[in-house]
Amino acid sequence: MSSFNGLGMNMGNLSRLSKAKSRSISPENFGGEKGMAAMALEGTGADCARDLGQGWKISPSVKVKPGETFLMANIEGPGAINQIWMTPTGNWRFSILRIYWDEQQNPSVECPVGDFFASGWGRYARLSSLAVCVNPGSAFNCYWEMPFRKRCRMTLTNIADEEMVLYYQINYILTDVPEECAYFHAQFRRVNPLPYKDVYTILDGVKGQGHYVGTYIAWGVNSGDWWGEGEIKFYMDGDKKFPTICGTGTEDYFCGSYNFESQETHQYQEFTTPYSGLHQVIRPDGLYKSQTRFGMYRWHITDPIRFQQDLTVTIQALGWRSGRRYLPLQDDIASMACWYQTLPATEFPKLPDRDYLEVI
């Protein structure tokens, strides 16, 4: 992307001037208008600021009632989202983030907020990467660049029975978008348990030109041995029985090796890097928390998977059985896939209902 319009900035071109206009949406400026922030006279902080008045953190957050869809952003383009920060309370599987581009009726992003920020198990785990950061105490940050030409509409739906509190900030620019820029997409899926000898589908039904840029998986193990022998496969541009790209194992795809095992402790070793990580390992506690659960991410920032017509992504759940034979596993697997593509996008599969989404 050209840096002259403010897109695609990096350490190598930060000194270059641009005619892009910086804007920001938050509860202190719902519309992101120039010179219209910190004007609130009422909000969740009004009582705390009763002795100080306007301009003193009157509206730092919003409350989203059960069943309510809150409009986080409605931006007229052209422009690009540069960063999203939020801290949502409540069950992260029960807050559904959706993003619509250029007056599309179907969302291009549809995902529980926890899984979108690589936190699918509903528990905090520190993550430091180029695309997503999860910082103390439960601060979600997204740095995927999201250009749009006509409009960006972003919503958050609370499907829980309790009211939630949402702190958020959406930083963006208004600028021309080059013709070659595609639109960001993200899709959630979950299967629990995976049927015996089935493969888990991370993504399918994608039509158009684009490139695949990232995978997050919340993997819950339902067996008592190593679970990560499965191969990831990318079927593209007419591939049928056999894919064009095939990985060598689950931990290999997430840029680890040999069981993610620490050679010192002989336990799973969490790690978080700019492009990949096993940032979360939830260990059994000897009582009610009986299953081991993992959170893993792999961002294809320097190695995007490019397709011209269509894309399907699958991963095997594969362990070991007697006689040194592979065992197809029946694990609890949820995923968030993200990619860029041209519009219009194919309608996503319907999200599972709340009980199926819930982490038990």
Domain spans in the chain, listed from the N-terminal domain onward: 22-181, 184-348
Q: What is the mean pLDDT of residues 103-125?
A: 97
Over residues 266-273, mean pLDDT: 97
Q: pTM for this structure?
A: 0.96
Domain 22-181 has CATH 2.60.120.1390: yes
Contact 183/343 with Cβ under 8 angstroms? yes
> What integer pLDDT is reported at residue 10 of this predicted model?
82
Q: What is the pLDDT of residue 3?
A: 46
CB atoms within 10 A of CB 59: 20
Amino acid at 167: Y
As a whole number of angstroms, the distance between CA 65 and CA 29 comes to 20
Tell me what pLDDT residue 6 has: 78
pLDDT (tens digit per residue) in 277-293: 999 999 999 998 888 99
Query: Which residues face 340 on adjacent strands?
Result: 184, 211
| Radius of gyration in angstroms for the set of CA atoms belonging to the chain, rounded to a whole number | 21
- Determine which helix (DSSP H) or strand (DSSP E) holds 116, and give its type and residue range: helix 113-116
> Which 3 state secondary structure label does DSSP give 166?
strand
Q: How confident is the model at residue 14 (pLDDT cuts 50, 70, 90)?
A: confident
Is 90 exceeded by the pLDDT of residue 255?
yes
Q: Compute the average pLDDT of residues 194-211.
A: 97
Residue 351 tokens, joined: 């999200």
Same fold, 22-181 and 184-348: yes
Taking the C-alpha atoms of residue 227 and residue 220, their distance in angstroms, rounded to an integer, is 10
Question: Looking at the chain, how many residues does it have?
Answer: 360
Q: What is the mean pLDDT of the chain?
A: 96
pLDDT at 62 over 60: yes
Task: Calculate the CA dihedral of residues 340, 145, 102, 21 and round it to 10 degrees.
Answer: -160
The mean pLDDT of 110-119, rounded to a whole number, is 98
Q: Say how many C-beta atoms besides its own lie within 10 A of residue 310's C-beta.
A: 18
What is the spatial distance between Cα 89 and Cα 79, in angstroms, rounded to a whole number?
A: 29
- Residue 154: pLDDT band (50, 70, 90) is very high
Q: Is the model's pLDDT at 1 over the cut of 50? A: no
Mean pLDDT, rounded, for 39-56: 95
Cβ proximity of 358 and 159 under 8 Å? no
Give the mean model confidence (pLDDT) for residues 12-41.
95
Which of 183, 224, 214 shows the shortest CA–CA distance to 276? 214
Which class is 184-348 in CATH?
A: mainly beta
Question: Cβ distance 11 to 17 under 8 Å?
Answer: no
Whether the pLDDT of residue 160 is over 50: the answer is yes
Residue whose C-alpha is closest to residue 202's, from 76, 333, 84, 341: 333
State residue 116's pLDDT score.
Answer: 98
Question: In the chain, pLDDT over 70 holds for what percent of residues?
Answer: 99
pLDDT of residue 289: 87
What confidence tens digit (pLDDT) does each residue in 300-352 have? 999 999 999 999 999 999 999 999 999 999 999 999 999 999 999 899 999 99
SS3 per residue for 240-280: CCCCCEECCCHHHHCCCCHHHECCCCCCECCEECCCEEEEE
pLDDT exceeds cutoff 90 at 264: yes
Place of tokens 């059994």: 284
